[in-house]
Amino acid sequence: MKPRNLFYRFIKLAILIAIFSSCVKHDSLEVTVYQYSNVILTFSHQVKGASLKFDTMLYRTSLGNQYQVSDLQYFISGVYFHQAKGKWQEISTDKGIHYTDARDNYSCSWWLKDQIQAGEYDSIAFTFGLDEKQNFSGRFTDPPERDMFWPDLLGGGYHYMKLNLKWKNDTMVQPLPFMFHLGIGQVYAGNTVNTDSIIGFVQNYFKVILPCKMTLKSGGYHQVMLQMDIARWFDGENAFDFAAYPNGIMQNQDGMYRACLNGRKAFDVIIPK
């Protein structure tokens, strides 16, 4: 065989090997090989730029109400990362749902098992709470998620958030407890607020899209932090007065609606260096 023919056969073989290594067929299904990154989504909590401290009457709203935080637990779901080139990648780890308890450091880290394509990203989207498809009674059988249940008479499913407080204003001697709880709202017949007069329900979950410029490198581990500022729940466009809701906002759709309007701006994305 002539040397020239050997040379051309070698070139053809090299091309075939390159094609095969980048695109593998199994039962007529073509699988493209990509490069992926590993992401840890973490959750932090602050009040006006300072780390949240529990059980201390340190904080004051824009309306002059003093408050302290006793508990903070919530769900996020439907998380997506948006590539700079225009493609959304859905997070499917734990069926796309994560529960956070601000007192429990373990729950403040979510190790994503998804294969997230390496590259440039410009935003993150998520649902605060659980939507109609995700939020049904009996979904969670073990604590702590199970203990977020929302009574069936009030719509069922689970709390989106439990933010338990104590508060006082300048006219009060002793602070009072306040349940800043979000979940499915109720529509009542007339002015009577009891379970017998419920004629409809309101889905109060809401979606958040946050800018986030980040570069995910192939094979690396990357931390992405969702940071909640508790003060923004009370001091947004709808300044919140605890005195207006003496029984908390659970079973009060007006209170939950106003809270959710503020909550849309309660988060930032931080990329730790």
User: Domain locations in the chain?
Assistant: 1-33, 37-270
pTM for the whole structure: 0.85
Place of tokens 């056969």: 9
Which tokens belong to 190?
Answer: 């007339």
DSSP structure string for 76-112: EEEEEEEETTS-EEE--GGGGEEEEETT-GGGGEEE-
Residue 164 Cα distances to 86, 107, 167, 184, angstroms: 39, 18, 10, 18
Spell out the per-residue pLDDT of the chain, length 273, in tens: 544 444 444 444 444 334 333 333 334 444 444 589 999 999 999 999 999 999 999 999 999 999 999 999 999 999 999 999 889 999 999 999 999 999 999 999 999 999 899 999 999 999 999 999 999 999 999 999 999 999 999 999 999 999 999 999 999 999 999 999 999 999 999 877 788 889 999 999 999 999 999 999 998 889 999 999 999 999 978 899 999 999 899 999 999 999 999 999 999 999 987
* Three-state DSSP class for residue 119: strand
